[in-house]
Chain A
Amino acid sequence: MKWSVLTLVGADQQGIVAAVSNILFEAGCQLAEASMMRLGGNFAIMLRVRHGTDQDIAALLAPVTRSMNLHLHLDEDVAAAVHHIEPDVHITVYGADRAGIVAQVTGVLAEAGLNIIDLETAVGGESDRPIYIMSIEGNAKLGIDKLASALQSLGDDIEVNLTPIDTLRG
C-alpha cells in the first residue's frame, strides 16, 4: 500500500464527492485528509488516498471522471505520516478587489516568517464593485509581533486583522 495525493477538478455538479469516494472505497482504498470545495463554478477535490502499489487510480476513477468531466491529477505523497502543525495565528484580509492582494499580503507574511497552514479566499460584494476576502491560518515561525509589524507596511486600501490563536489543551 502507498499514499498518494489526488486532485480532481470539474464544473460543479451534484454527486461528485459521493461518486468518487464510493469507487475508491469499493476498490479497497482509504481516504485521509481532504479538502473539497466549490471554487467559483468549479468543484475541486484534494485528498490523500491510500491504495495498492499496483492500483491505477486514474483507471479506477475513469468511469466517473469521464461521465462528470473531471480532470484528475495524481502525485506521490512525499510527506506521509506527519503530525498536524498547529496554527498559532489567524489573519483576515479584506478590501476592494484588485490584482495583487494575495501576492502582496503573503509576500510580506512569508518574509516575516509565516508558514501558511490554511488559506481561503472569496470574492464577494456587488458584481460591479467586488470585494476580496482572505482568511489565513498559520504558524508564526519568528513570532507574532514580527508579523504584526510587517503587516503595517501594507497599503491603506486593505484591512488586515491579526489574532493570535491560543490553543487550549484540556
Chain B
Amino acid sequence: MDILTYPDDRLKQISAEVENLDDEILHFIRELEATRQQGPGAVGIAAPQVGVEKRIAIVDVSNTRKPCDNHGHMIMINPEISEWDGMVMGREGCLSVPDFTGNVIRAEKIKLNYLDEQGKAHEIESSGFEARAIQHELDHLDGLLFLDRLVSRRTDLFKRKVYK
C-alpha cells in the first residue's frame, strides 16, 4: 500500500473503532505490516497512514540498532493509553513526513489497553523508546502528527549520560 504523506487531509482525521475483527480487517493488518516493513527502518505504522481511518497500529522496536525494553511485535486494535508518567524529549521522524525530523516530548512510561488480532485484550506497561513509538502511532489515530508536538531545539530535556 502507498503511504500517505502530509499535506494529505486524511492524516488529520480521527479514526473509528474497529467493531468486527473479520477477515477483511485481518487481511488489511497483514498488508499494513508489509507496508511498514517497506518503510526505511520504521518501528511502527498506523492505519491512517495508508488512508484507512480505523484504530489499528503496529509497533515493533525489537530490532533497533540500540536494544531497548520491548514487547516484541505488537498489533494494537482500539488501543487506549490509560496512564502517562514522566516526560522525555526525543527525536522523531515519520513515514508520512519525509526528510524532516524534530524534537518531541513524550511520556516516559505509559499504561496501555488494546486488543490483538485474535481479539484478546491486553493491558501492558511500556517505557522508553517503545512507549515513544506507541504514543507516536496512536497519535495518528487521532489525526495528530509529530509536527503537532514539535518543540524547539533549545528545549532541552534530553536524558544525560555524563562522561566527565
A residues lining the B interface (CB < 8 Å): 83-84, 86-87, 90, 92, 118, 120, 135, 137, 148, 151-152, 154, 156, 159-170
A122 CB to closest chain B CB, in angstroms?
A: 9
Q: Is B75 an interface residue (CB 8 A)?
A: no
Q: Is B136 an interface residue (CB 8 A)?
A: yes
- How many inter-chain contacts with C-beta < 8 Å in the A-B complex? 84
Cα–Cα distance between A92 and B153 once the two chains are bound (Å): 12
The answer to whether B153 touches A168 (Cβ under 8 A) is no
Instruction: Please give, as numbers and ranges, the residues of chain B lying within 8 Å of A84 by CB-CB distance.
Output: 99-101
Sorting the interface of chain B by its residue count into under 10, 10 to 19, 20 to 34 or 35 or more gives 35 or more
The answer to whether A160 touches B163 (Cβ under 8 A) is yes
Shortest Cβ distance from A133 into B: residue: B156
In the A-B complex, the 6 residue pairs with the smallest Cβ-Cβ separation, listed nearest first, are: A170-B136, A167-B91, A170-B44, A163-B158, A161-B160, A168-B92
24 contacts between A and B (CB under 8 A): A84-B100, A86-B91, A92-B156, A120-B154, A151-B164, A152-B163, A159-B164, A160-B164, A161-B160, A162-B161, A163-B160, A164-B66, A165-B90, A166-B90, A167-B90, A168-B43, A168-B93, A168-B132, A169-B39, A169-B92, A169-B95, A170-B136, A170-B137, A170-B146
Interface of B is mostly: mixed
A68 CB to closest chain B CB, in angstroms?
A: 26
The answer to whether B133 touches A168 (Cβ under 8 A) is yes
Instruction: Please give, as numbers and ranges, the residues of chain B lying within 8 Å of A164 by CB-CB distance.
Output: 66
